[in-house]
């Protein structure tokens, strides 16, 4: 306790409030911006030598700081986009600190199609492979050629092919074996010149497969996103707070018997993906508020910072939502958002159970 007081008295902590889309008050001992893999490696090593915990951040759109961070935050701002092409593909090599949505805009402005379904996703390009970002029928895995990774302990850079990244729904090797001690420094994206629009989701189904343009898909996706999801600049949030649960067919059938309208997505494995938003809405939790945190009234899967929420408000709300869904449907939702304590990232089970 005494050590903790001394730490706060002796250190001028730096605010993280504007560095996460949740906009929840938290501070860190050091915040360092890096623009190359060399400086990233150097800053990481120096923090470790100081015996400080380190966390790498992109745009902070998928994290919740549970308390002040007693160490160094490294902001990845490694920039650069280079493009090569052959007769059938465009190949983009992109620095991990480029903003994802700006990359989508850049590709379309330069006549390269294939990223339009992934428009308006917050975050940096280097974060895209981490949870294999996905929306409106496409995942990052579909366009990924390779990911360049820095092994921070050995200060060695190496390249993983898309297959080696072990992409799955909201997961990859970077959420498993390479979760700690590895930094994504650049990614390789391969876009097919023979554009095949993906129009299976929401309003995209209204577009005509025969004469649709990439720009129309982009506009439609942007329209759906701005209509369906709360804007973090109005009410802080981190997008979907939970992942959609993947359950056995037996359980899905039991739910369907009682609620024939339940949205269900059959998986290649034979299991069924359910819409967490639908489950939460059926628990009548839309608009439910604890302290300054609430379940968004438009989209039940988004927990928002409605009025100066603390991280503890968000955690209590998330715990409540999980318990209600488990009681009603027998399904324990898993968060998509990553929790960070004063010293490291922490497992959601430690936080929410
Ligand atoms: P951060 O939040 O900064 O970091 C996320 C995690 O990755 C942290 O654990 C961090 O330590 C780690 N990390 C960050 N950079 C690196 C690096 N270079 N190397 C190693 N580790 C790193 N996601 C989707 O998939 N689909 C969506 O449709 C979607 N919509 C969203 C809508 C809104 C309004 C918001 C706020 C978020 C949405 N998200 C969505 C979630 C989020 O945008 C993505 O997860 C995004 O990829 C996170 O990027 P970031 O740079 O903000 O990562
Ligand atoms: N629904 C409800 N209530 C709501 C909202 C939605 O019942 O309040 C129903 C919808 O009617 C629909 C279903 O739930 O039948 C799915 O809703 P939506 O299309 O909005 O998609 P989602 O499954 O909630 C996922 C991703 C989003 C991504 C969208 C679009 C996850 C966890 N979330 O949301 O990603 O943008 O699909 O593809 O997979 C994110 O990861 O942060 C994120 C926003």
C-alpha to C-alpha distance for 314 and 222, rounded to whole angstroms? 27
Ligand 1 midpoint to CA 10 (Å): 32
Residue 112 pLDDT > 80:
yes
Beta strand 144-151 with 182-192: parallel, antiparallel or unpaired? antiparallel
Which ligand lies nearest to the CA atom of residue 134 in the structure?
Answer: 1
Instruction: Let me know if 230 is exposed, middle or buried by CB neighbors in 10 A (0-12, 13-18, 19+).
Output: buried
- For residue 7, pLDDT over 90 is answered with no
* pLDDT, position 8: 46
Say if residues 146 and 162 touch (Cβ distance below 8 Å).
yes
| Distance separating alpha carbons of residues 76 and 284, to the nearest angstrom | 40
Query: Is there a contact between 265 and 246 (Cβ–Cβ < 8 Å)?
Result: no
Counting atoms of ligand 2 from 1, which one is nearest the CA of 229?
A: 44
Q: What are phi and psi of 82, to 5 degrees?
A: -125, 145
**What tens digit of pLDDT does each residue of 197-239 get?**
999 999 999 999 999 999 999 999 999 999 999 999 999 999 9
Instruction: DSSP letter for 58, please.
Output: S
The share of the chain scoring above pLDDT 90, in percent, equals: 95
Which is the catalytic residue, given 37, 59, 336, 338?
A: 336
Determine which one of 37, 220, 240, 342 is catalytic. Answer: 240
Whether 156 sits among the annotated catalytic residues: the reply is: no
pLDDT in tens, 153-197: 999 999 999 999 999 999 999 999 999 999 999 999 999 999 999
296 alpha carbon, closest ligand: 2
Catalytic: 336? yes
Rounded average pLDDT over 231-252: 98
68 pLDDT more than 60: yes
- What pLDDT does 10 receive? 45
pLDDT number for residue 11: 56
101, 80, 72: which is closest to 36 by C-alpha? 80
List, in order, residues 6 or more apart from 38 with CB less than 8 Å away.
Answer: none
CA of 117 to the centre of ligand 1 (A): 17
Q: What is the pLDDT of residue 12?
A: 79
């Amino acid at each position: 306790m005494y050590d903790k007081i001394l730490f706060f008295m002796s250190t001028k902590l730096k605010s993280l409030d504007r560095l996460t889309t949740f906009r929840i008050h938290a501070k860190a001992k050091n915040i360092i911006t890096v623009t190359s893999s060399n400086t990233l490696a150097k800053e990481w090593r120096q923090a470790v030598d100081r015996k400080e915990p380190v966390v790498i951040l992109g745009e902070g759109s998928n994290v919740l700081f549970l308390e002040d961070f007693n160490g160094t935050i490294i902001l990845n701002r490694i920039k650069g986009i280079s493009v090569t092409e052959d007769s059938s593909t465009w190949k983009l090599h992109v620095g991990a600190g480029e903003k994802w949505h700006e990359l989508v805009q850049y590709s379309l402005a330069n006549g390269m199609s294939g990223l339009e379904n992934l428009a308006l996703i917050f975050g940096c390009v280097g974060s895209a492979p981490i949870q294999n970002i996905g929306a409106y029928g496409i995942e990052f895995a579909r366009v990924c050629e390779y990911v360049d990774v820095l092994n921070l302990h050995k200060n060695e850079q190496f390249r993983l092919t898309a297959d080696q990244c072990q992409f799955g729904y909201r997961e990859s090797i970077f959420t498993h074996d390479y979760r700690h001690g590895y930094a994504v420094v650049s990614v390789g994206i391969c876009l097919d010149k023979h554009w095949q629009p993906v129009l299976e989701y929401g309003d995209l189904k209204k577009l005509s497969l025969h004469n649709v343009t990439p720009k129309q898909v982009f506009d439609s996706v942007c329209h759906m996103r701005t209509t369906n999801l709360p804007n973090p600049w109005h009410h802080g949030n981190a997008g979907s707070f939970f992942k959609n649960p993947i359950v056995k067919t037996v359980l899905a059938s039991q739910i369907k018997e009682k609620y024939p309208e339940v949205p269900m997505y059959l998986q290649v494995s034979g299991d069924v993906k359910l819409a967490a938003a639908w489950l939460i809405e059926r628990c009548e939790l839309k608009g439910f508020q604890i302290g300054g945190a609430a379940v968004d009234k438009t989209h039940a899967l988004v927990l928002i910072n409605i009025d100066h929420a603390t991280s503890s408000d968000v955690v209590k709300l998330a715990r409540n939502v999980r318990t209600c869904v488990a009681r009603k449907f027998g399904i324990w939702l898993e968060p998509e958002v990553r929790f960070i304590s004063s010293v490291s990232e922490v497992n959601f089970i430690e936080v929410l159970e």
